[in-house]
């Protein structure tokens, strides 16, 4: 039985490959009790996920992963427990999606100029009319035979200095945290060890984040090594941030990451869920009327 909360995962509403409902079914089958959906810059998958999670007896945490430009780089801020009806969050995310649409066209133009035709069209097929991101371009470039793996595509085409790269112009850190808080959620720094920041730059990010009202940091991430986990646990303790945990699952194509398969939070980090009223409903009896 795996009861670790999994507070970071993607569906087809952004760059995951499972629908929100299939994602929740997989979480239930994996023994997860508390599961979030945190798609990039969209809330579109949340209603479907909430219904499917209830059918599984899962405690569902509606979330989002917001793209932010900070310190000349792109970072990601997860929002947990957000109200999907909140106008300020919705409007903020809509602005980011407008940039995404422009960026996709610009990526298509740059790749075309570099001799790779038809990539935007194929990427659009992979995104299936929903939010489009670099992962869809990566799948398109693999599909068109320009690279062997999605990972290789990023190195060759989609990172800084490569032909398909377009610099991000994302949300301000304080705005992203503000939208999350306006929607009643808690803001969390996603996969902090992935940014390649020095200790002092990471510390600066944490300071700015706390000043904006941020509360948590992913100590446990599907992308963290053991050492990175311990470093981030220390950072959480020193800065007073709550610790979060999430697989950053994108689909069964990456078999090295599985829903809920996460190490425990180090004991001296206070979990972000410490005061959540998240006693999951039992698998049966989810249809009992309120107050019964």
- Give the residues lining the site for Mn ion (CB under 5 A): 15, 65, 76, 190, 248
Candidate ranges 56-64, 90-98, 127-135, 178-186; the one touching ligand AMP (CB under 6 A): 127-135
Question: For ligand AMP, which is the closer residue by CB, 135 or 186?
Answer: 135
Site string for ligand AMP, 223-262 (x = CB under 6 A): ---------------------------x------------
Candidate ranges 20-28, 130-138, 202-210, 261-269; the one touching ligand AMP (CB under 6 A): 130-138
Measured over all CA atoms, what is the biggest interatomic distance in the chain, rounded to whole angstroms? 65
Which does residue 6 touch among ligand AMP, Mn ion, none (CB within 5 to 8 A, set by kind)? none
Helices (H), ranges, 8-86: 20-29, 46-56
DSSP letter string over 194-243?
GG---HHHHHHHHHHHHHTT--EEEEEETT--HHHHHHHHHHHHHHTPEE
By CB under 6 A, tell whether 135 contacts ligand AMP. yes
Smallest distance from the beta carbon of 248 to Mn ion, in angstroms? 4
Query: For ligand AMP, which residue of 133, 164, 243, 251 counts as binding (CB under 6 A)?
Result: 133
Name the residue among 140, 176, 175 with its Cα closest to residue 157. 140
Cβ(160)–Cβ(134) under 8 Å? no
Distance from the Cα of residue 245 to its chain's centroid: 12
CA distances from 190 to 64, 87, 123, 139, 277 (A): 11, 23, 25, 23, 23
E-only strand ranges, the chain: 34-37, 59-70, 73-80, 186-189, 216-221, 242-246
Smallest distance from the beta carbon of 70 to ligand AMP, in angstroms? 14
Candidate ranges 86-94, 128-136, 220-228, 269-277; the one touching ligand AMP (CB under 6 A): 128-136
CA distances from 139 to 24, 157, 167, 255 (A): 24, 12, 20, 16
Query: For ligand AMP, which residue of 4, 11, 56, 67 counts as binding (CB under 6 A)?
Result: 67
Candidate ranges 86-94, 150-158, 261-269, 277-285; the one touching ligand AMP (CB under 6 A): 150-158
Instruction: List the structure tokens of 48.
Output: 């479907």
Which does residue 186 touch among Mn ion, ligand AMP, none (CB within 5 to 8 A, set by kind)? none
Question: For Mn ion, which is the closer residue by CB, 44 or 65?
Answer: 65
Specify the pairing of strand 186-189 against strand 73-80.
antiparallel
Query: For ligand AMP, which residue of 6, 15, 44, 218 counts as binding (CB under 6 A)?
Result: 15
Query: For ligand AMP, which residue of 154, 179, 209, 249 counts as binding (CB under 6 A)?
Result: 154
Smallest distance from the beta carbon of 292 to ligand AMP, in angstroms? 42
Task: Give the Cα separation of 219 and 107 in Å (integer).
Answer: 33
Q: Where does this chain bind ligand AMP (CB under 6 A)? A: 15, 40, 67, 133-135, 150-151, 154, 250
């Amino acid at each position: 039985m795996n009861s670790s909360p999994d507070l970071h995962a993607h569906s087809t509403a952004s760059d995951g490959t499972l629908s929100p409902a299939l994602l929740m079914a997989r979480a239930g089958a994996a023994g997860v009790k508390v599961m979030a959906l945190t798609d990039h810059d969209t809330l579109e998958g949340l209603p479907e996920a909430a219904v499917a999670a209830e059918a599984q007896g899962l405690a569902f945490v509606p979330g989002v992963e917001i793209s932010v430009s900070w310190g000349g780089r792109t970072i990601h801020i997860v929002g947990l427990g957000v109200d999907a009806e909140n106008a300020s969050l919705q409007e903020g995310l809509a602005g980011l999606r407008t940039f995404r649409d422009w960026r996709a066209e610009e990526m298509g133009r740059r790749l075309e100029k570099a001799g790779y035709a038809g990539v935007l069209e194929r990427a659009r097929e992979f995104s299936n009319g929903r939010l489009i991101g670099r992962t869809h371009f990566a799948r398109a470039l693999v599909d068109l035979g320009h690279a062997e793996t999605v990972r290789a595509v990023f190195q060759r085409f989609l990172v800084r200095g490569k032909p398909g790269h377009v610099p991000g112009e994302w949300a301000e850190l304080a705005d992203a945290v503000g939208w999350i808080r306006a929607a009643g959620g808690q803001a969390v720094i996603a996969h902090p060890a992935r940014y390649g920041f020095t200790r002092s730059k990471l510390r600066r990010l944490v300071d700015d984040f706390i000043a904006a009202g941020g509360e948590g940091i992913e100590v446990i991430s599907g992308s963290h090594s053991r050492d990175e986990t311990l470093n981030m646990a220390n950072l959480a303790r020193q800065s007073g941030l709550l610790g979060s945990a999430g697989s950053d699952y994108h689909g069964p194509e990456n078999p090295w990451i599985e829903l809920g398969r996460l190490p425990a939070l180090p004991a001296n980090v206070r979990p972000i869920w410490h005061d959540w009223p998240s006693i999951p409903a039992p698998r049966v009896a989810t249809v009992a009327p309120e107050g019964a």
